[in-house]
Amino acid sequence: MTKLTDTQCVLLAAAAKRNNLSIYPLPDSLKPGGGLSKSLAALASQGLTEERETDDKTTLSREDGDLRYGVFATPAGLAAIGIEAEGGDLAVSATAVVLPEPELARGDTKASTVLALLQREGGATLAELITATGWLPHTTRAALTGIRKKGYLVDKSKRGDVTCYRIGAVAA
């Protein structure tokens, strides 16, 4: 399976949500710069995206005279994030989506502890995360937001009366 960065996963997942599979407009969670152009170039070189002519201004990536071009996900790009095209319709494949190794899971850090707790089958409560890290509640919630911004789907469920958080798959 193709190894993708967090940014590449977010780009392909956002494109998969659109009917025309356009990479543009870019998701709000991605900031201009920060390796975005390298991620787009890598996706194109791997055949996971392709440049096509477009008339839709919202999908525009560049202009060459009177011609307008957009960048679109290919079937290989969708398959790389676990989505298959079946008769024109998109469906999540039966194979599990391989989550990229997040940048914040380096060594034995508090962030890697949070990630490990969220990846457990039952997930973790806010109180468990606070106890494990020693962070204040608002810092712990900010860490959850940061994980979401990396492109992960953080599922919420109930364990009794307490909310549990768990990492699902790459957000689509």
The string of pLDDT tens digits covering residues 97-131 is: 444 544 444 556 888 888 888 988 889 999 999 99
What SS3 state is found at 15?
helix
CATH topology of domain 6-92: Arc Repressor Mutant, subunit A (1.10.10)
The CATH class given to the 110-170 domain equals mainly alpha
Q: What is the pLDDT of residue 1?
A: 52
Domain 6-92 matches domain 110-170 at the CATH topology level: yes
pLDDT band at 27 (very low <50, low <70, confident <90, very high): confident
The residues near 106 (Cβ < 8 Å, ≥ 6 apart) are 112
Full strand arrangement of the beta sheet holding 67-73: 49-53, 67-73, 60-64
Mean confidence (pLDDT) of the chain: 80
Bond before 75 cis per omega within 30 degrees:
no
Length of the chain: 172
pTM (two decimals): 0.51
Residue-wise pLDDT for 68-97, tens only, equals 999 999 998 888 888 776 555 544 444 434
Whole-angstrom Cα Rg for the chain: 18
> What is the structure's pLDDT at 165?
93
| CA dihedral sign of residues 9, 110, 140, 168 | positive
Say yes or no to pLDDT of 40 above 90. no
Q: By the 8 A CB rule, do 20 and 56 touch?
A: yes
CB atoms within 10 A of CB 1: 11
CA distances from 120 to 123, 136, 138 (A): 5, 22, 22
Query: Domain-by-domain residue ranges, the chain?
Result: 6-92, 110-170
